[in-house]
């Protein structure tokens, strides 16, 4: 039995039947991490923490104590989410030696569930990027083709799940940072509704967009992880108090209306990607779902809107990295010089670019022309979704217009890189749940189908995704 290939439920069943120990599961994951070292998926491997957590679970099993579904199951964590006592770099030189002083709320919840944390995964610096190439510690590579990107910013998390070096991983999604790497690496990725999962302990990128979510091998696993980490948190005022809805095991697609936005199938999409996504939607129709064409007319403004609002929030959030409170601190003759030297040496080019864009759109004379206008456009994009969900239950679209592109292919053209998120950004601006599930391959490169749910209806999006997974 290859322990590292198990899903959460399979691993749990084996543990309670005593077919293997949590310690053996952890060792299998740690061995697999080192076997795939060439991917650069992990920044920190937490052997000692993982094995101690595994021993604790084995002791509970030996004492015939009941254990939960996540107990003893190896998980990796994106290196922008704090795990107490473990290095947390955010993929940046400015935090190269920063040790997290506390646990993020999601980590507290996983520890309470007796999860086994095997390492911290690589990412685009401060979660800014759609390719996995912007890390200060080198790019992550796609496990299906080492010459290609794994997607970003949760690049290491997606690559780790795809290579079975953990059973599941936690990532974060601001504009597509869970779903796009999930699509490129052929795994499942859930970006929850804004507010369903606490952001406390996640390094802030854009506070009105960031959400932590799972990357998993199956939709069923994504459900289990989401159930464990979701819920109201007093330390995050944007988190909502919504009870998790236990799912109906006999979900009927006959009652489901699936919307297909016509604006998502236009020029620019790879013909083979479109073919695979349409084939998946046709499968739903065969199973009894009703397919309805809908319109989201303001979709074309989503990317420019996002790249005004996102950088504006970045310029405020990253002001804390000043070389005084924590992280890198460059010597200087005066305070301003200290700020400038620290940030010049500590921040990569993409982070610097977005800080400057954000500072510009918030500056006197430009605030109304850019930031205020972008917020009005965001409202129009949200209204498009509200109207669409009056007619349908979920929406189905591609995750990305192409499969994984080659390393370095878009690095010299930031606009082309930003356009890679064209299908994932609109749902984020509207605060909606969206999941990427594998729906086929072009050669050896995976393609993802995106299922977008109505606000706070994460459970339904997951349930619709699981129907397709069960079919295949």
Whether residue 245 is predicted with pLDDT greater than 90 in this model: the reply is no
Whether residue 116 is predicted with pLDDT greater than 80 in this model: the reply is yes
Other CB atoms within a 10 A radius of the CB of residue 279 amount to: 12
Active site members: 78, 153, 177
Angle at 26 between CA 25 and CA 31, to 5 degrees: 100
- Domains of the chain, start order: 3-229 (3.90.1300.10)
Whether residue 315 is predicted with pLDDT greater than 70 in this model: the reply is yes
User: Exposure pattern of 401-438 as b/e (b: 16+ CB <10 Å)?
Assistant: bbbbbebebbbeebeebbebbbbbbbbbbbbbbbbbbb
- Report the side by side order of strands in the sheet with 290-294: 42-45, 116-121, 74-78, 168-173, 211-216, 188-191, 434-442, 445-453, 394-398, 257-261, 290-294
Band of residue 80 on the pLDDT scale cut at 50, 70, 90: very high
Give pLDDT, residue 251: 76
CA distances from 297 to 264, 383, 396, 421 (A): 10, 10, 16, 17
Band of residue 249 on the pLDDT scale cut at 50, 70, 90: low
User: Could you report the per-residue pLDDT of 218-240, keeping only the tens digit for each?
Assistant: 999 999 999 999 999 999 999 99
Give pLDDT, residue 18: 96
User: Could you report the per-residue pLDDT of 392-426, keeping only the tens digit for each?
Assistant: 999 999 999 999 999 999 988 888 888 889 999 99
User: Could you report the per-residue pLDDT of 382-396, keeping only the tens digit for each?
Assistant: 999 999 999 999 999
Q: Which of 87, 116, 119 is nearest to 101 (CA)?
A: 87
- Structure token pair of residue 391: 């007619």
Whether residue 250 is predicted with pLDDT greater than 70 in this model: the reply is no
> What's the average model confidence in pLDDT over 436-459?
98
Residues of the chain with pLDDT > 90: what percent? 93
The rounded distance, in Å, linking the Cα atoms of 69 and 81 is 22
The rounded distance, in Å, linking the Cα atoms of 397 and 124 is 25
Whether residue 151 is predicted with pLDDT greater than 70 in this model: the reply is yes
* Pair 153, 73: CB distance under 8 Å: no
User: Could you report the per-residue pLDDT of 16-41, keeping only the tens digit for each?
Assistant: 999 999 999 999 999 999 999 999 99
* Pair 367, 316: CB distance under 8 Å: no
Q: How many helices (H) and strands (E) does the chain have?
A: 15, 11
Q: Which residue would you say has higher pLDDT here, 424 or 252?
A: 424
> What's the average model confidence in pLDDT over 87-102?
97
Query: The tokens 């795809």 sit on which residue?
Result: 162
Band of residue 96 on the pLDDT scale cut at 50, 70, 90: very high
Whether residue 98 is predicted with pLDDT greater than 70 in this model: the reply is yes
Band of residue 248 on the pLDDT scale cut at 50, 70, 90: low
The rounded distance, in Å, linking the Cα atoms of 373 and 364 is 14
* Pair 344, 408: CB distance under 8 Å: no
* Cis peptide bond upstream of 153, omega within 30: yes
């Amino acid at each position: 039995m290859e322990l590292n290939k198990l899903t959460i439920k399979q691993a749990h069943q084996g543990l309670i039947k005593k077919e293997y120990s949590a310690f053996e599961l952890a060792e299998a994951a740690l061995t697999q991490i080192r076997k795939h070292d060439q991917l650069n998926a992990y920044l920190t491997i937490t052997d000692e923490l993982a094995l101690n957590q595994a021993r604790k679970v084995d002791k509970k099993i030996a004492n015939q104590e009941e254990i939960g579904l996540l107990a003893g199951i190896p998980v990796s964590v994106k290196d922008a989410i704090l795990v107490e006592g473990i290095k947390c770099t955010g993929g940046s030189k400015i935090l190269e030696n920063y040790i997290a002083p506390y646990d993020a709320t999601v980590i507290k919840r996983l520890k309470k569930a007796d999860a086994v944390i095997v390492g911290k995964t690589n990412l685009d610096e401060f979660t800014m990027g759609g390719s996995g190439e912007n890390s200060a510690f080198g790019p992550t590579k796609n496990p299906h083709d080492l010459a290609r990107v794994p997607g970003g910013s949760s690049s290491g998390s997606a690559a780790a799940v795809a290579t079975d070096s953990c059973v599941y991983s936690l990532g974060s999604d601001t504009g597509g940072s869970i779903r796009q790497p999930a699509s490129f690496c052929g795994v499942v990725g859930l970006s929850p509704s804004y507010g369903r999962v606490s952001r406390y302990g996640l390094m802030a990128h854009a506070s009105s967009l960031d959400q932590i979510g799972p990357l998993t091998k199956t939709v069923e696993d994504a459900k289990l992880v989401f159930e464990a980490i979701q819920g109201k948190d007093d330390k995050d005022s944007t988190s909502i108090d919504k009870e998790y809805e236990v799912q109906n095991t006999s979900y009927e697609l006959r009652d489901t209306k699936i919307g297909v936005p016509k604006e998502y199938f236009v020029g620019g999409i790879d013909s083979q990607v479109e073919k695979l996504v349409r084939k998946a939607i046709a499968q739903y129709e065969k199973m009894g779902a009703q397919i309805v064409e809908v319109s989201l007319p303001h979709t074309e403004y989503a990317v420019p809107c996002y790249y005004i609002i996102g950088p504006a929030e970045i310029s405020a959030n990253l002001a804390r990295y000043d070389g005084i409170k924590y992280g890198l601190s460059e010597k200087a003759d005066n305070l301003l010089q200290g700020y400038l030297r620290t940030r010049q040496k500590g921040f990569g080019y993409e982070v610097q670019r977005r800080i400057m864009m954000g500072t510009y759109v918030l500056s006197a004379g430009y605030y109304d022309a850019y930031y205020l206008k972008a917020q009005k456009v965001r409202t129009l994009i949200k209204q498009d979704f509200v109207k669409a969900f009056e007619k349908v239950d979920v929406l189905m679209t591609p995750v990305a217009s192409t499969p994984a592109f080659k390393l370095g292919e878009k690095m010299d053209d930031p606009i082309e890189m930003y356009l890679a998120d064209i299908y994932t950004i609109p749902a984020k601006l509207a605060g909606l749940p969206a999941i990427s599930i594998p729906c086929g391959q072009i050669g050896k490169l995976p393609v993802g189908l995106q299922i977008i749910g109505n606000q706070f209806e994460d459970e339904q999006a997951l349930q619709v995704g699981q129907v397709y997974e069960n079919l295949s």
